[in-house]
Homo-oligomer: A and B are copies of this chain.
Amino acid sequence: MSDPHAIVTELSENECWALLVAGEFGRFAVAIGSRPEIFPVNYRASDGSILIRTAEGTKLFGVGVNDEVAFEVDDYTATEAWSVIVRGRARVLESPAEIAEAERVQLRPWARTPKTRFIRVDAAEVTGRRFTFGSETELAYV
């Protein structure tokens, strides 16, 4: 096989946030002890943070044990791919005012759950890369 000669472009922070705000589906990672856990989630991004809706479970437990988290969104087509990664600290919203504000955000959960909680990730670092793929020949490997 041949390597594709993809052109890799670092995205600016503004470009990253534009992609984050346009998306609604990403993956959330937390380390529980030495064990990484990864979860697909629906989210909303705004004002330097990521809002995630969840039920009781490992995600909440993980954030309680260790608030350092990573969050990722990506997409790809035959001609290009991009990914944006957010690193930051997560906290479970506890105050009625914050929860009420989060409730107003249209966050579609994947499943009805008996109890809804919200996790907010305050972004400390946002990085992104765009990969523009090469020739038609190389696209045969897509």
Contacts and interface: CB of A to CB of B under 8 A. Distances in A.
Interface of A: 1, 3-6, 8, 25, 27, 29-31, 33-40, 66, 68-72, 74, 76, 81, 83, 85, 87, 106-112, 131, 141-142
A36 B32 CA distance: 9
A106 B40 CA distance: 27
Given A29-B70, A70-B29, A106-B1, A111 B8 contact: yes
Interface centre among A33, A87, A112, A141 (most CB of B within 10 A): A112
B37 A4 contact: no
* Chain A residues touching B, majority SS: strand
A36 B4 CA distance: 29
Nearest to A27: B27
A31 B111 CA distance: 28
B74 A141 contact: no
